[in-house]
Structure 1
């Protein structure tokens, strides 16, 4: 009997040790599941069953059990009852993970939005486009190319726009033109665009030193906004989503996501040390907030001078508990509205006759970051060194986790949008689309 009791005690000690060492991971795991569930159900209008069977069904997130409260618009996730996290919905700001019980009822500001233009046809409004047939397009080949990335590739949406006209559009079961889709890190390109608009309005100069008070007494005072936009500040950052890292701690444990990168030391030299960092994008969101006299103006500007102005009315930018837009990761919109974003760049910042930013800004975001080997610009990814060998070097794109993409191909007058839950063979996909658009 004593031996059996000792054995049980040993097992209990092993379990307690395992829980102790894995508790931080469980915190992030449950946080991911709760946050994603709340956004999927209450922002994207999906069901809990659908969310659990698709978006949250990968290891180790599938260890969490999710519940929602339709009345209070909350989602909770529990891992074996050892740890529970809650996410709440805030009007106009999407979902956010709570850190204290008081966060559930805390007051907050919401962005003011413009109404969707449902009378003007796509792309300048949300009404159906005026269809036309291009004689230079091989529509059969185009449809086959689009279909090739569905099925096992877990693609949810593909949209191809040529000369402002949708020439291909396909959705997987359960999705349609009105479905909101998470852009993940494509939000970084949204952030960059806000900087471009402020630059055009002479309200900011990205070549200025970053206005961070805590940096003024050390070498970090030499970091410019430009360095941050190019992910080339030299600051320490661990962008790893397979374990506890700077990125996961920021997204699932921080009240103010703009601060974690600010507090990191230099490990390289500004303009000489490319390091992809979601913390940098959120730091930039915090810098943007400082450009406005009030928090309300900061919240409104992204929509009034950009998102709603180009008819991306479906878009929802999610914010942290401190009211900062999570510019690294959290923005939702329909595939058609994401295509409008690409078209804004295709038209060099001109939207239906109004200049939101200049061609110089397009040149700026597509200039390769030093030491990035031609793959990165100012919060956009590039093909400057032919990463995609069958695609023009001039192609650039917004890039998000699991293959969320908005490709901009200026020479071909093309914008291509893809959403899904897994990576795919991008070069072959884009090659097929390009070969479908035969030059007249």
Structure 2
């Protein structure tokens, strides 16, 4: 009888757990279906490697995924519940599908212009040139790289590349990854998105003090929000950026068909231009607003590649779109470590790529100017070290950061670009210790 009571108690508690956690299951299955589809069909990884590493911890380890190579899709569920399916579309990446929905047989894709250059990387696509700089302590540099991979179970570093004075000094890759493996940048994609606005401004097609025309905002104070407010994430609009439960951001990424809408629908909770907090919804709103400055949907799909990505040779990059055809500018940019480094190098060289001025040099000053009430940690869709968050790094360092420790560090005073990707972030990957070791190799 006592054993039966324990069994009944276990079943009761299990039932309560499933009941209370059931709504979360669609987020778990949505995340794993989407990430599996992108990892296999965008990054070219095996499903087994994704399950063994990306999906091996926390609640997402409860999911069971199935990959269908023929339809280029993956599905996922948690104990058979809340099944979700994602499909790959060439040129557009993967997208989660609502129940009983299929991708149209025909759809627009970006028209890409790719002509690989024989010049050495990073300017071209040839082998990196062997360059020795007498001022660099190469033994110390190697110790710094070793430190980044010293504890793989905790640090979970996947790739590392260090560029100095427009040359690749060193790179290292964990098993299963290489120089051409596309890596999901997560919120590093926000910095790509912001750059598109810098290009629009440079082309004279946008003033950052302009106010976007949004029908839902015309009758209230939200009509005073400017592009500058959105780029600095100080619009004052309500937003909950919490990935541990069902929140604004998880509903947007794993339930919304049009990811530009959730932020539009939010009300003001603070003064415009004075209230700062992080919002992926704002980035996707900006991604949708980009369409208003381009003549049609095809021009919208082409713009990031024609004016930025392919223009600087980031040929591995894919910006995934939502079901409504909007770039998911908050989170879903994939590129190889070398191509993420190209992006950092463009900023290190103040918007110039060879003889091509992609955006005005003043754009650097804009994105690196601390936003009010951000504790000098944030500029305009770039993170900053102006407030000394990382004391072992120079205060002029700024960076594109992403979930689970994706980073493009740009350090003008050292003439450095450093890219680190992985599955763990500070403090599990100790950034200050990393900076202390690596930067000691440079004058």
Which TM-score applies when normalising by structure 1? 0.95
State how far apart, in whole Å, the 2-side matches of 1:276 and 1:15 are.
36
Give the structure 2 partner of residue 244 of structure 1: 246
Spell out structure 1 runs of 4+ moving beyond 3 A. Answer: 10-21, 104-107
Aligned position for 1:262: 264
Q: Distance in 1 between matches of 2:19 and 2:148?
A: 42
Between stretches 111-120 and 175-184, larger displacement belongs to: 111-120
Which of these residues, 432, 436, 441, is aligned with residue 431 of structure 1? 436
Distance 1:83 1:73 in 2: 20
Shift of 1:19: 3.7
Residues 309-359 of structure 1 deviation map (CA, whole Å, 9 limit, x = unaligned) = 000000011110000000000111111100000010011101111111111
Taking the aligned partners of 2:236 and 2:105, their CA distance within structure 1 comes to 37
The separation in 2 between residues aligned to 1:346 and 1:399, in whole angstroms, is 16
Q: Which structure 2 residues correspond to residues 13-24 of structure 1 after superposition, within 5 A? A: 18-24=17-23
Post-superposition offset of 1:431: 2.5
Mapping for residues 212-251 of structure 1, pairs under 5 Å:
212-251=214-253
Whether 2:85 is the aligned partner of 1:86: answer yes
Q: Is the 8 A contact 1:116 1:125 kept in 2?
A: no
Aligned to 1:387: 389
After TM superposition, list the pairs within 5 Å mapping 1:321-360 onto structure 2: 321-360=323-362
- Tell me the secondary structure at the aligned position of residue 284 of structure 1: helix
- Report the Cα distance in structure 1 between the residues aligned to 2:16 and 2:177, rounded to whole angstroms: 44
The answer for the alignment partner of 1:420 in structure 2 is 422
Q: Distance in 2 between matches of 1:131 and 1:410?
A: 22
Cα distance in 2, alignment partners of residues 413 and 15 from structure 1: 56
1:65 paired with 2:67, answer: no
SS, match of residue 306 in structure 1: helix
Map of 2:155 onto structure 1: 153
Q: How many pairs were matched up? A: 434
Q: What is aligned with 1:182?
A: 184
Structure 1 portions without partners, runs of 5+: none
The answer to whether the 8 A contact 2:143-2:438 is kept is: no
- What residue number does 1:36 align with? 35
Contact 1:76/1:86 (<8 A) preserved? yes
Deviation at 1:224, TM superposition (A): 0.6
Contact 1:116 1:126 in 2 (8 A): no
How far apart are 1:147 and its partner, in Å?
1.4
Q: Secondary structure at the match of 2:161?
A: strand
Give, in whole Å, the separation in 2 of the partners of 1:347 and 1:27.
44
Cα offsets for 1:116-151 (capped at 9, x unmatched)? 414122112111122111011111110110111112
What secondary structure is seen at the aligned counterpart in 1 of 2:70? coil
Question: What's the CA shift for 1:223?
Answer: 0.7
Give the 3 Å change call, closer, same or farther, for CA 15–157 of structure 1 in structure 2. Answer: closer
Give the secondary structure class of the aligned counterpart of 1:97: strand
Determine the C-alpha separation between the residues in 2 that align with 1:348 and 1:111: 27
1:291 & 1:409 partners in 2: Cα distance? Answer: 32
Q: Structure 2: which 5+ residue stretches go unaligned?
A: none
Shift of 1:86: 0.3
Match of 2:278 in 1: 276
Quote how far apart the aligned CAs of 1:12 are. Answer: 7.5
In structure 2, what is the Cα distance between the partners aligned to 1:266 and 1:234? 5
Q: Deviations over 1:36-83 (max 9, x none)?
A: 100111111111110000011111001000110011100000110122
CA distance in 1, matches of 2:58, 2:131: 45
SS in 2 for 1:158: strand
What does residue 140 of structure 1 align with? Answer: 139
> Corresponding residue for 2:212?
210
Q: Render the CA deviation track for 1:389-427: whole Å, top value 9, x for unaligned.
A: 121111100000011000001111110000010011112
Structure 1 distance, partners of 2:307, 2:42, is 23
Residue 394 of structure 1 contacts residue 410 of structure 1 at CA under 8 Å; is this kept in 2? yes
What's the counterpart of residue 48 of structure 1? 47
Q: What is the root-mean-square deviation of aligned Cα atoms in Å?
A: 1.7
SS of the equivalent of 2:170 reads strand
Q: Distance in 2 between matches of 1:218 and 1:83?
A: 39
* In 1: Cα distance, 2:104 partner to 2:313 partner: 32
State how far apart, in whole Å, the 1-side matches of 2:176 and 2:264 are.
41
Deviates more, 1:335-344 or 1:428-437: 428-437
Determine the structure 1 residue equivalent to 2:292: 290
> By how many angstroms is 1:206 displaced?
1.3
